Amino acid sequence: MISITQSSQVIFLLGAGASKNAGIPTTYDFVTQFINYIEESTELNSKDKYHKKKLINSIVETLRQWKKLEGDNVDIELLLETLTKLKNRNKESLLQFCADREDSPTLMFIDQELSLPLFDELIEEIINNLKVFIKFKTIVKEDNIGYLKYFRGFIETAKNKGCPLDIISLNYDTCIEQFCNAHKMTYQDGFDLYWNPDAFKRDDTDVRLYKLHGSVIWYQSDRGTYIKLPIQNEFGEIKLISDEKAENLMLYPMQKWDYAEPLLELLLYVKDLLESKISDKANTDDFKFLVVAGYSFRDEHIKQVIFDAARRNRKLYLIIIDPNSNQIYDERLKYYDNLTKILSHLNGKVVCLPYKFESVFPFLMDKYVNKLKSGLLEIESMQRKEDLAEETRWINCIFLLAEAEFSELVDKIIDNKSIVFDKSRTRFDIQIFLSIAVNLLYNNQRNKANKYLVKFYDGLWDFLNESMPIKPEGFIGTFDYGSGSTIIFRMGGNIEYFYKTLRDLKNYCEIRLNEMCLYRDEEVVQLALMMELCIEYLGIFSNQSINEFILSIKDYIIKREDYLNILKRYIIETHFDIIGYELTEVGSKLAKLKVFEMKNESEMKAGGVTNMINEIERTLINILYKTLNPEFKK
C-alpha cells in the first residue's frame, strides 16, 4: 500500500447531497422515484407492477410509521437494508426469538399480511430492480455539473502548495470525473485500466479522487480482478473480452463490508490523508480543513476514521455544508457516545453551514475557508500574547470567525474572554451579531440565537442614534420650498453610512432567505423587513452625503404612500400593532396633502403644507424609533 505523505489543505468529503444539483436524487427522493420507476417500467407486466408497487409501499409505510417515533423519514439506505434483511430473514438472529415463526406463513405490514411464498418471489426481483435503478440514476451528464466549476480555485490553491486537490466521495456517480473531463484536468482514482494504487503518486495530477463506496464505472471480475470501464451499462453484469464475468464494484447502502481490495485500501489512504502534513514547503500554516457536503455520517467506519484523525491531528477542522449541519454535528460527531456524552476530539472544531452546497460553493474559498484560517491564526497569535501577559485584542478573532460563521467558537470566546464590545465599532459589531444570530437560527439553536438578536438590536439602536439623532418627542429635519411646487428637505446627522450598512445587512438576510437555505425562517424574514423599513425611509434622500432630498409634492406623496404600504406589511408580518395609530395619522395627512398638490405656492403656504410635511416626517421618525428601539421589543 502507498503512503500519502502530504495532502491539500482543503479536503472535500462528498455525500449524496453534493450531487443533487447534478440531477441525482437525494437518499429520500430515491424512494419516491423508485416507486414511480416500477410504475412506469415497460419491462414489467401490469400484474408484476401491481404486486411490486404494493409490496414496496407496504414496506415503506410500515417503516414510515416506525420512523415517526424517531422524527425521521424513510430513505433509500433504510429501504435497501430492510429489503436485504427480509430476503435473509432466516439468518437474522433476532427473529429466532419470535413466537410461531415456523407455523406462521405470513409477514405483518402496517396495512396487510403477505404470504411468504409470494413475498419470496418478489423480494429478489425488487432488490435487483433497485440496484439497476440506483445505477441508472447515477449516470451524470456533463451539462449538469456546471455548479462544480468552483473546484478550479481549490485545485489551483492546492497545486501552488505542492500537491493535487484531495476529494473523498461516497457517491457512485461520475460528477468529479465529468468535471475533470470538462475542464481538461487530470484525476487519479487508483485505476488505470486495472486497479493500480501507485497512480496516486503521479505528479501530473490535478485531483486525487477516493471513492470509498465504489463507482458506477468500476467492476470486479469473477477471477478477482478490478477494472474501470467508462461505459453506460444499465445491467449489473458484463462479459469481458477475456471471457471473465464482471459485476459493478459498488458498496450499496447499509451493505456489510465484503473484502474488495480497492475499497479497503482507499479507506486506509483516506485515514493517512487526514493525518498527513499539508506540504513540504516551509512557512506553510498547518491547519487542515475537511469540507463535508451532503453527508450525514451514517457509516460508522468512516466516522471512526475521522475521529482517529481528529485525535492525532489537533489542527483538523470540519466545515459541514448541509441544511441539517448542526443536527449532524450534535448527533453524530460531537460525542464518541451519545448515551454517555463523552466528548469527541471534534468537539468545538466543526463549522456548521446550514445551506445548500451549490449556493455556498461560489463563496466557500474566500468567505469561509480563508476567513476561518485567518481567524484561527489570529487566535494562535492572541494566545501567545496572553501567555506572555501582553495586551490582546480578541475582537479581531471574533470578527473573522463570525464572517466564517463559526458560531460555536465565537460564542465560546465571547463568554470565556469576557469580551466587551466598543461602541466606536458598532457597525462591525452588529455585523458579527447578525451573522451569528442568523446562522444559529438556521441551525435550530434559537435560545443561543436570541442572545445575539438582543445584542444586534441594541447595537443597531446605538448605530442609529449615532447616524440620525432621533428623539421621539422632536424632529431634526428642516423644510423649504424650491422653485414652483418643489420641496427641499434636509436632515441632521450622517445617514449615508447608516443607509449603506443597513443595505448590506438586509442583503445578507435576503441571500439566505431566497437562495442559500431550504426555507424562509420567520425571524430572519422579520429582520430583513425591519431593515427594509429604515432603508426605504432613507431612500428618499437622493443626496445622502448632505442628508437632503429635492422632490415635487406629487413625487413626495407617491414615495411616502409606498412607504406606508411597507409599514402596513410590517405590522401584518410582525404583529407590531403599537404603530397602528401613527400609520392612520400619516395616511390622513397624506390624503390632505393631495388636496393642495395642484395649488400654487402661496395657497400651499396658507394651507400649512410646510407644517403638514414636517408632521408626516416627524411621525415616520417616531415609527422608526418604536420599531428599532430595543425597549419596544421586550
Per-residue pLDDT, averaged over 412-425, amounts to 78
- Quick check: 42 pLDDT over 60? yes
- The pLDDT confidence band at residue 234, using thresholds 50, 70 and 90, is low
Do 199 and 168 form a contact (C-beta atoms < 8 A)? no
- Quick check: 318 pLDDT over 70? yes
Q: For the chain, give the percent of residues with pLDDT over 70.
A: 83
- The pLDDT confidence band at residue 295, using thresholds 50, 70 and 90, is very high
For residue 188, what are the β-bridge partners?
208
Q: Higher pLDDT residue, 511 or 100?
A: 511
Backbone angles phi, psi at 125, to 5 degrees: -65, -40
Q: Please report the pLDDT score of residue 395 as a whole number.
A: 87
Q: 4-18: per-residue pLDDT in tens? A: 668 899 999 999 999
Average pLDDT, the chain: 83
Amino acid type, 266: L
Domain boundaries, the chain: 10-21+141-355, 25-136, 361-437+447-462, 467-633
Q: 444-503: per-residue pLDDT in tens? A: 999 999 999 999 988 888 888 777 654 444 444 555 555 556 777 776 667 788 888 999
Inter-CA distances, 200 with 11, 168, 296, 468, Å: 15, 13, 27, 62
3-state secondary structure 336-351: EECCCCEECCCCCCEE
Do 609 and 596 form a contact (C-beta atoms < 8 A)? yes
Q: 602-611: per-residue pLDDT in tens? A: 655 545 777 7
Q: Is the pTM of the predicted complex or chain greater than 0.85?
A: yes
Q: Please report the pLDDT score of residue 387 as a whole number.
A: 92
Do 335 and 342 form a contact (C-beta atoms < 8 A)? yes
Per-residue pLDDT, averaged over 415-429, amounts to 75
318 three-class SS:
strand
Per-residue pLDDT, averaged over 403-416, amounts to 94
Q: 585-608: per-residue pLDDT in tens? A: 999 989 888 877 666 556 555 457
In this structure, what C-alpha cell is assigned to residue 454? Answer: 438582543
Q: How far apart are CA 309 and CA 138, in angstroms?
A: 30
